[in-house]
Amino acid sequence: MHVQSFHYDENVQYMMSVGYLMAYQGGQVEPGDDMRGSDFRWWSLEDLANEGVKVIVPPD
C-alpha cells in the first residue's frame, strides 16, 4: 500500500492518492460488508485506456 498527498488544482488544494498492489489468485470477488451494494470490477490497463477512465497519477 502506498499513500501520497499532492496538490490537485486551485479548487482542491490537497488530494490523497492511495495505491494498492495485489495479486489475483482466483475465485469470485465479493465486497466486504462495508461495501455491500457497491459496484466493483477488475480493470486491466487496456480496459482503462479503452474506456477513457481518467486516472490521476500524482507527480513524484
pLDDT, tens digit (0-9, with 9 covering 90-100), for 33-55: 887 777 777 778 788 788 877 76
Instruction: Report the number of distinct structural domains present in the chain.
Output: 1
Close Cβ partners of 1 (under 8 Å, ≥ 6 residues apart): 18, 19, 20
31 part of a folded domain = no
pLDDT, tens digit (0-9, with 9 covering 90-100), for 1-36: 778 888 878 888 888 877 777 777 888 877 788 877
35 phi/psi in degrees, rounded to 5: -120, 15
Residue 56: per-residue pLDDT: 67
5 part of a folded domain = yes
Of residues 59, 55, 31, 58, the one with CA closest to residue 43: 55
Provide the residue range defining the domain that includes 14: 1-25+40-60
46 part of a folded domain = yes
7 part of a folded domain = yes
59 phi/psi in degrees, rounded to 5: -70, 155
